[in-house]
Structure 1
Amino acid sequence: MSHGDGPARMQLNHATSSDYGAGATKGGEVLGIEVPELKLAAPVFGKQSKKLSRALTTLITTLDGLGEPWGDDPTGENFAKDYKSYQRSLEEAAGVLILGLVSIHEALDDMKDGHVDNEDLIKGMFTKAVRDRGDRDADGK
């Protein structure tokens, strides 16, 4: 889906037919994704997951390194309880995002490999086998 020398990009295929499954003939859209797009997209998710992971590690170590500046009085204890709860929630949410980015990266890689394997299989189905010269019959055919 690359146009000229420009970058590959995803496009929606607005042409619908019954070949695309249930709902496609009722105005459904089909997302057309090709191997070059998958090759470009997969690493982006991997890189971003690593960046987010480093940012989360920095956040955790920085906050933990600052200690607990609230006091031992009831107000400080209440603040600490809420603060720590929100901090854990934030860390867990960021962890879920990291795992999501990693899984998208892996899924796109798997999808790319599946498309390549499928293309090779289809090419093999429609390619004539070249006979070895030693296999020719008496007529030379």
Structure 2
Amino acid sequence: MSDGHGKGKVLDIKVADVKSVSPTFHRQAKKLSDALTTLINTLDGYGEPWGDDGPGKEFAKNYKPNQKHIESSTGILVLGLTSIHEALQDMADGHVDNDKLIEGMFTKAKHTPGGDGHK
């Protein structure tokens, strides 16, 4: 993709670039989802594994009141990454379809020698 330094160019989006970066968002959404599942299952499975010592109490004081918010926010991030993946795929597909449509408009046009191009 362009760095924006070209003359008059704002974006130079290449379908190959969009298609190559899209799976990254899917992979990262999966990794974040797996991490969230591990966090929830591990902590729920162990009860309160952080202990009753000073650091454990400090962790519990900060984590427990925010636990559902952390889980919910992380779920929203997973959905966001998934949405970006899907949007990039749709954008790439739409760009290809648009290029084919435009190409078809120009290849179907016939020029009549000596005519004004209108029928």
Alignment partner of 1:55 is 2:35 = yes
Partner residue, 1:42: 22
> Going by fraction, where is helix more abundant, 1 or 2?
2
* Unaligned stretches of 5+ residues in structure 1: 1-9, 21-29, 130-141
- Report the count of equivalent residues: 105
Distance 1:89 1:16 in 2: 47
Question: Matched residue of 2:48: which SS?
Answer: coil
Deviation at 1:33, TM superposition (A): 1.5
The partner residue of 1:117 within 97, 100, 106 is: 97
Distance 1:31 1:56 in 2: 36
TM-score normalised to the size of structure 1? Answer: 0.63
Partner residue, 1:27: none
> Going by fraction, where is strand more abundant, 1 or 2?
1
Letter in 2 for 1:85: P
Question: Matched residue of 2:37: which SS?
Answer: helix
Distance 2:76 2:82 in 1: 10
TM-score normalised to the size of structure 2? Answer: 0.73
Question: Matched residue of 2:40: which SS?
Answer: helix
* Unaligned stretches of 5+ residues in structure 2: 110-119
CA RMSD of aligned residues (A): 2.6
After TM superposition, what 4+ stretches of structure 1 lie above 4 angstroms from structure 2? 79-82
Letter in 2 for 1:89: H
Question: Matched residue of 1:14: which SS?
Answer: coil
Larger Rg: 1
Alignment partner of 1:12 is 2:8 = no
Deviation at 1:61, TM superposition (A): 0.2
Partner residue, 1:89: 69
Which of the pair has the greater relative contact order for Cα pairs under 8 Å at 6+ separation?
2
Identity %: 59
Distance 2:4 2:61 in 1: 52
